[in-house]
Amino acid sequence: MATMHSKELLSSVSDSVRREFKEQKYILSYDEFLDIFSNEPKRLIRNSAEYMLDMFKFFGVSEIKHGFNHTKRHFKLFERVRGKNKPAIVGQEEAHESIYRVLEQFVRQGKIDKLVLLHGPNGSSKSSTAESLANGLEEYSKTEEGVVYKFNWIFPSDKIGYEGLGDALNKHIGFGDNNPSRNGNKSFAHLEDDEIMCKIVSEMKENPIFILPKKERVEYFKKVIGKNLTHDEIPSYLEEGALGAKSKKIFDSLLVAYKGDLEKVLRHVQVERFFYSSRYREGIASVEPQMAIDAQDRQITMERNMQNIPPALQNIRLYEPQGELIDANRGFIEFADLLKRPLDAFKYLLSTIEKMNINLSSGIADLDLVMMASANEKHLDAFKNSPDWPSFKGRFELVRVPYLLSARLEQKIYEEDIKIIEKTKKIGPHSLNLLARWAVLTRLRQPDPDYYDPGIRNLIARLDPYDKQALYDGNEPSNAFTETEKGLLKKHVEDILKESQSSVAYEGRFGASPREMKMLLYFAAQNERHDSLSTIALFDEVEKLTRDRTIYDYLQFEPRGGYHDYREFIKYIKSQYAQFFHREFLSALNLYDEEQYIKALQRYMKNVTSYLKKEKMQNDITGRQEDANENIMEEMESLMGTTGNKREIRERLVGKIASWRVERPSEELNFAKVFEQELATIAKRIYESKEEEIKKIKSSMMMNGSEDYKNLPKNVLETCENTFANLEEKFHYTRKNAWESLIFLNSIKK
């Protein structure tokens, strides 16, 4: 019975594959190809740059928000999963936009004449970007919009007839008899394997339309377009494209053998749909640093597997081009860490890029491919000081790929690693966020006030790394600035981001690498002293990382104006964690319920709005129209610790809501975010008012696991247990992580 099921399965799969093979038109005769070409000529005459540009468009675009009131175009191509444990690329919209514009430039000018050089610090997603492009090509080529063809030469066995060259001269070209009645002008493209004497593939994967002579193919294109075209409207790829040396020799020999009868030559053409593949180097190649040139050829006419070549072709030398450039033709090639190669190993690229061809022993091979390379900044700096740099500069299109400057986006880089880790270990609250914030803080550069207009120079001079990070994440700066000053800073976020971009030491060039941070995540997860990947465990790993300053250059920078001070950044994220946990602890203790105070703030703001507008408001209980309740407002202002002119205080708070709505018109008002600092103050004041009671419970909970804990008074023990349970259920701490955090909180307060 099982055997029967297996046979049915195989039969079903076989039928499905056969049906797909026919529907996808994998194999075509030349006539069939021309029929398809006539229906969609522009799609089938795209060069590699046009094809890649269309691929960008195919996967779609969206707008994403960066900072305040600023959006960037996001290409969904880079959201594609590139393989197991490889997350989408985040935060590199500017680099991807630059690549898109370079492709547009290639398309406009009708030729590819530059190598796209991705440069940036180690681990900034240069290789991931190239990998995403390759993966996109693979997926796109499987779609109807991304169909692409190459061709092979087919020579039938003696049992297949053809219309020969004439019995009088007793000549034929060695693939059948001369009986014209048996096969006529029927194509050999669909012959079965046992009917084929010899099949010669074209390694260059030339567009099949190039088999037609230049003049005829241009006229055919005009005809199928259905209108008169000017010279400028004819694709240069169509007009200038040519067969590779091997295919040209075969074509010419057949044309001579058939006395110029092109139809008979075209019988031997088998058009084949192909699919891009990185694994099998089909239209995609990646070249690691090496000494060897990336293309060469070898003679194949003397090989045993070519012994069935027709006599008409045996008097010519056929060469098989090979190498990465050949494999990548009609597609995309990446030179990984190009500048790690000795200069002599890639000097040939100068002429290759300029002419888009390469000299082989058999002749010149025309290339149609997008070239991309990657380099880290140190190697690029050294290369710029080389006497050869001016020669290469005009052939490179530089695209910068820096580290991210947004902790919110940085955190997303770790998501796939976290999916792996959380299979065996729980992820502690705030751990990823604080690690991302520390990493980004190490990358920030002190702003230069002289870069800005005189009116805001003093404001910029006061901008410390913590407020700068808040701005880059689209968050409010601290209360060290007035509401007016905050508004000015938010207005100039893009200027702050652009300030150092023309500098060699641009912001995002130095600092902690995402690779290093991922490594810390795994180290923290493996730490047996902790039962979760907790923030406490990450603090230990960050401190270990920074002990040897000689390993990483960003640890060697002298602190200046609060920037580049990795030790202070560690203290900062520790203090942030203490604040977060303290607030959660109070909530778990049922002394501070943030939701309760958010509702109180909403009620307060309702009264404030009525007060400022001098309007009546409806009493929720009695339904009467009344003046704003001064007691409600003063009680909340007391909790928030505000002092000064009441009207000014209330106008400032209303201004915060107005700013949120202006900056985030499509988002729902988030009171917890808008009044984050005020809520933190409320939590602190509640703590101060019940400090002794809280200390007693905290001390008791820190005894967890000991005999003394078990012997606590019943009511105290019950409160401790309820608090532990709330920390686990509401905030997702493990019991041990909560206990560790209490000890940490106690130590940091001292």
Q: What is the DSSP string of 186-241?
A: --STT--GGGEEEEEE-TT---GGGGS-HHHHHHHHHHHHTS---GGGS-HHHHH-
Rg (CA), the chain: 35
User: 513, 510, 534: which is closest to 524 by C-alpha?
Assistant: 534
> What percentage of the chain's residues is helix, strand, coil (to nearest 5)?
55, 10, 35
User: 582, 280, 510, 542: which is closest to 434 by C-alpha?
Assistant: 542
User: What element of type H or E holds 326?
Assistant: helix 324-327
Contact 728, 734 (CB under 8 A): yes
Using the predicted structure, report yes or no on whether residue 494 has a pLDDT greater than 80: yes
3-state SS assignment for residue 510: coil
pLDDT at 9: 61
pLDDT at 341: 86
What is the distance between the alpha carbons of residues 575 and 22, in angstroms, rounded to a whole number?
Answer: 65
What is the distance between the alpha carbons of residues 105 and 111, in angstroms, rounded to a whole number?
Answer: 9
Contact 80, 139 (CB under 8 A): yes
Tell which wins on pLDDT, 592 or 125: 125
Crossing angle of helices 594-613 and 630-640, in 10° steps, is: 130
* pLDDT tens string 233-245: 888 899 899 999 9
pLDDT at 7: 63
pLDDT at 8: 65
pLDDT confidence band for 361 (50 / 70 / 90): confident
Using the predicted structure, report yes or no on whether residue 117 has a pLDDT greater than 60: yes
pLDDT confidence band for 181 (50 / 70 / 90): very low
What is the distance between the alpha carbons of residues 358 and 223, in angstroms, rounded to a whole number?
Answer: 33
What is the distance between the alpha carbons of residues 559 and 472, in angstroms, rounded to a whole number?
Answer: 21
Average pLDDT for residues 105-125, to the nearest whole number? 94
Average pLDDT for residues 102-131, to the nearest whole number? 95
Tell which wins on pLDDT, 290 or 693: 693
pLDDT at 1: 45
* pLDDT tens string 10-55: 565 665 556 555 555 699 999 999 999 999 999 999 999 999 999 9
Average pLDDT for residues 452-457, to the nearest whole number? 93
Contact 77, 257 (CB under 8 A): no
- Percent of residues, the chain, with pLDDT higher than 70: 89
Contact 477, 471 (CB under 8 A): yes
Classify residue 237 as exposed, middle or buried by CB count within 10 Å of its CB (0-12, 13-18, 19+): buried
Using the predicted structure, report yes or no on whether residue 449 has a pLDDT greater than 50: yes
pLDDT at 165: 34
What is the distance between the alpha carbons of residues 257 and 335, in angstroms, rounded to a whole number?
Answer: 43
Using the predicted structure, report yes or no on whether residue 658 has a pLDDT greater than 90: no
User: 377, 428, 368, 427: which is closest to 398 by C-alpha?
Assistant: 377
- Percent of residues, the chain, with pLDDT higher than 90: 59
**What are the Cα distances from residue 287, in Å, to 134, 326, 336?**
13, 12, 6
Average pLDDT for residues 438-454, to the nearest whole number? 96
* pLDDT tens string 558-581: 999 999 999 999 999 999 999 999
Tokens of 688: 């101060």
pLDDT confidence band for 299 (50 / 70 / 90): low
Using the predicted structure, report yes or no on whether residue 178 has a pLDDT greater than 60: no
pTM: 0.85
Q: Which amino acid is at 266?
A: L
Q: What are φ and ψ of residue 199, in 5° steps?
A: -125, 125
pLDDT confidence band for 600 (50 / 70 / 90): confident
What is the distance between the alpha carbons of residues 660 and 556, in angstroms, rounded to a whole number?
Answer: 39
pLDDT at 225: 87
* pLDDT tens string 366-376: 999 999 999 99
Tell which wins on pLDDT, 688 or 490: 490
User: What element of type H or E holds 613?
Assistant: helix 594-613
pLDDT confidence band for 707 (50 / 70 / 90): very high
* pLDDT tens string 284-298: 999 988 645 556 665
DSSP H helix total and E strand total for the chain: 36, 19
pLDDT at 681: 85
**What are the Cα distances from residue 688, in Å, to 649, 682, 683, 695, 746?**
23, 10, 9, 10, 15
What is the distance between the alpha carbons of residues 419 and 176, in angstroms, rounded to a whole number?
Answer: 62
pLDDT at 668: 84
∠ CA 574-580-584, nearest 5°, is: 140
Write down how long the chain is.
Answer: 750
What is the distance between the alpha carbons of residues 293 and 297, in angstroms, rounded to a whole number?
Answer: 11
CA atoms within 13 A on the CB side of 556: 7
Q: How distant is the alpha carbon of residue 659 from its chain centre?
A: 32
* pLDDT tens string 523-546: 999 999 999 999 999 999 999 999
Classify residue 600 as exposed, middle or buried by CB count within 10 Å of its CB (0-12, 13-18, 19+): middle
User: What element of type H or E holds 272?
Assistant: strand 269-273
Tokens of 177: 């008899």
Using the predicted structure, report yes or no on whether residue 182 has a pLDDT greater than 50: no
Q: Which amino acid is at 179?
A: N
3-state SS assignment for residue 83: coil
Using the predicted structure, report yes or no on whether residue 83 has a pLDDT greater than 80: no
Q: What are φ and ψ of residue 592, in 5° steps?
A: -145, 115
What is the distance between the alpha carbons of residues 298 and 365, in angstroms, rounded to a whole number?
Answer: 13
Average pLDDT for residues 307-333, to the nearest whole number? 84
Contact 720, 694 (CB under 8 A): no
Question: Following DSSP, what letter does each residue of 6-52 receive, concatenated?
Answer: HHHHHHHHHHHHHHHHHHTT-EEEHHHHHHHHHHSHHHHT--HHHHH
Using the predicted structure, report yes or no on whether residue 180 has a pLDDT greater than 60: no
Tokens of 137: 């090509």
Average pLDDT for residues 231-256, to the nearest whole number? 90
Phi-psi region of 508 (alpha: psi -120 to 50; beta: other; left: phi over 0): left
Strand runs (DSSP E) across 580-671, as ranges?
617-618, 625-626
pLDDT at 167: 35
3-state SS assignment for residue 177: coil
pLDDT confidence band for 748 (50 / 70 / 90): confident
Using the predicted structure, report yes or no on whether residue 646 has a pLDDT greater than 80: yes
What is the distance between the alpha carbons of residues 509 and 443, in angstroms, rounded to a whole number?
Answer: 7
Tokens of 496: 């702050």
pLDDT at 21: 53
* pLDDT tens string 406-425: 999 999 999 888 989 999 99
Average pLDDT for residues 125-140, to the nearest whole number? 95
pLDDT at 665: 77
What is the distance between the alpha carbons of residues 632 and 636, in angstroms, rounded to a whole number?
Answer: 6
Contact 427, 533 (CB under 8 A): yes
